[in-house]
Structure 1
Amino acid sequence: MQSPLEREAAEYLTEHQILELLDNLTSTLLYERPAKPVEFLIDQLEKLKVARQTKKDYPCLFDESNLDTVFGILDTTKQGYITLRQYREALKTLGIRDFVMDPLGAREDKITLATFKNEAKTGLMNTCSTFKTL
């Protein structure tokens, strides 16, 4: 059983998305492995601050070329689409928790690159915007 102080601390961390922020910063740091890690982290926090104000360009590990690559790996026969199941699993693998479960093309079980990238970008933006929304 948690003490009132532990419960208050946990609520604070959850409310302000501190653990998600630290997770994203740590992942980016380990991926990039900069020569000056403290300066790099400060730069990432500054980018996050600007993104919060402008609502775009959130610092994220995945860029457009990564999304093209993921889609290409799944679309091995180059049909121009992936299945709904592949779409869902790919987004989960990218760390996206909240996404449209049945996007454009779901009824036909044919998710195009454009739909995949649009949903992935939206999901990544939400995932990478690790701060309390005002």
Structure 2
Amino acid sequence: MQSMTCQDCPRKLEVERYIKEHKIDEMLQNLTSSLFYQMPENPKQYLIEQLKLLKASRDEFAEPPTLFTENNAETIFNMLDPCKKNSIPSDRYQHALETLGVLHCGKVLDNKDEFISKDMYMNVVKTGLKQMASTYKPIG
């Protein structure tokens, strides 16, 4: 009798589709990152609260819970703009997006001499943080 490997498992594709459709990997990544960053005294209660916030963001269109906030993003921008010109070079912009985990949301800049305004940076970051935190299947 031959043993069945995971590759032969009839439900493997079904499970993979389910995980992708419901963004399970992303949700677990966000929850564990937040948990390890915050290190609350009661981790189970903390996770329950995070899941409630996530549910509220889906059901009530509230802001989803994120590891980084807009204030964090603005602080990073301000550190990269010490002369307060309200713009940063494209390499610093891309590094900031990478730091926040939202590099995929910004346009790729080929011109290294290009400068990015604070408004553009904040718009990209807000969109990216929201996309990253929206780890649920939309209703409807």
**2:63 is matched with which residue: 57, 68, 79?**
57
Aligned equivalents of 2:114 and 2:107: distance in 1? 12
Structure with higher Rg: it is: 2
Q: Give the aligned partner of residue 46 of structure 1.
A: 52
Aligned length: 131
TM-score of the aligned structures, taking structure 1 as reference length: 0.85
Aligned equivalents of 1:70 and 1:28: distance in 2? 19
**2:81 is matched with which residue: 75, 87, 97?**
75
Q: Secondary structure at the match of 1:34?
A: coil
Q: Give the aligned partner of residue 3 of structure 2.
A: none
Aligned equivalents of 2:60 and 2:87: distance in 1? 32
What are the ranges of 5 or more consecutive residues in structure 1 without an aligned counterpart?
none
Instruction: Report how far residue 97 of structure 1 moved.
Output: 5.0
Letter in 2 for 1:2: Q
Instruction: Report how far residue 15 of structure 1 moved.
Output: 1.1
Instruction: Report how far residue 74 of structure 1 moved.
Output: 1.8
Q: Deviation digits for residues 9-31 of structure 1, max 9, x if unmatched?
A: 11111111001100100001011
1:96-107 pair list within 5 angstroms: 96=102, 98-101=104-107
Which range moves more in the overlay, 37-46 or 94-103?
A: 94-103
Structure 1 segments of 4+ aligned residues over 3 angstroms from their partners? none
Identity %: 38
Q: Deviation digits for residues 45-69 of structure 1, max 9, x if unmatched?
A: 0001111123231100111221121
Instruction: Report how far residue 110 of structure 1 moved.
Output: 2.2
Q: CA RMSD in A?
A: 2.2
TM-score of the aligned structures, taking structure 2 as reference length: 0.82
Letter in 2 for 1:130: T
